[in-house]
Amino acid sequence: MNRISTFRAALVALLPLAAIALTSPAAAQSPTASPAPAASPAPSATPVPAPVTPVPPPAETKSPADSPAASQTPPPAAPVQTADPFGEPITLEPKKVVMLKGNANWDAAFDALIEAFKQLTAQLGKESVKPSGNPMIVYTSTDDTGFTFIAEYPVDQDVKNLGKGMSMGNSPDGKALKFVHRGSYDNMDNTYEAITNHLDDKKLEAKDTFIEEYITDPLKTAEDKLVINVYVPLK
């Protein structure tokens, strides 16, 4: 029983006693001119004042969250992440690039690509030339054991003093489909399998090359945090 219920029960129990005291013979025979103490039996018979004052229940206390100001401020909305494009038709524009040809086997594929990017970055640093876009890998041929590729960095000017195996040129252009891969390079097989299924479903014919654009810096980003746009040129 809470505190309010206890006070109500005590008050109800004391009311009959007050009625008896007010109708007793002693009160009827009392002379009556002056207000004698007997004319007010309540103080001696019943300590009423204490129970008649209700105590506010603890539930009346409001937290700051219940205040009008708090209720008028909605919580911030959670960011909505949109799905990555998968098979989005685009048109690639040619870019001036400094490039380095290479080859690798599949067991050391990512290490070979990183080494090519390092060589190009070092050469650009020597020539005080800053890249004007994201690094790219253009796969020129593949088989069961390995592949050949061209590592490219877009630049706004010609690089005059080029290292061994380096040259200037243009990146691939034309109609292509854009796909996005997130995660490690080792999981690229799953992305390319999905790409192959997409091309089969749409009955599209691709050229014998494909391009990877590294949106995250491959020299500074953890491999499992990579974001790579894959472009599949169409015939």
pLDDT computed for residue 205 by the predictor: 93
Is 230 within 8 Å of 195 (Cβ atoms)? yes
pLDDT computed for residue 49 by the predictor: 53
Q: Quick one: what percent of the chain has pLDDT higher than 90?
A: 60
Q: Tens digit of pLDDT for each residue in 84-127?
A: 879 999 999 999 999 999 999 999 999 999 999 999 999 999 99
Token pair 């592949």: residue = 147
pLDDT computed for residue 230 by the predictor: 97
11: region left, alpha or beta (phi > 0 left; psi from -120 to 50 alpha): alpha
Cα separation, 109 vs 90, in Å, equals 27
Q: How confident is the model at residue 232 (pLDDT cuts 50, 70, 90)?
A: very high
* pTM assigned to the model: 0.65
Residue positions counted in the chain:
235
Mean pLDDT of the chain: 78
Of 187 and 55, the structure prediction assigns the larger pLDDT to: 187
Residue 37 has pLDDT above 80, yes or no: no
Q: Which of 151, 130, 131 is nearest to 139 (CA)?
A: 151
Q: In the predicted model, what is the mean pLDDT of residues 51-75? A: 54
Is 98 within 8 Å of 166 (Cβ atoms)? yes
Cα separation, 107 vs 159, in Å, equals 32
Q: Tens digit of pLDDT for each residue in 186-229?
A: 999 999 999 999 999 999 999 989 999 999 999 999 989 999 99
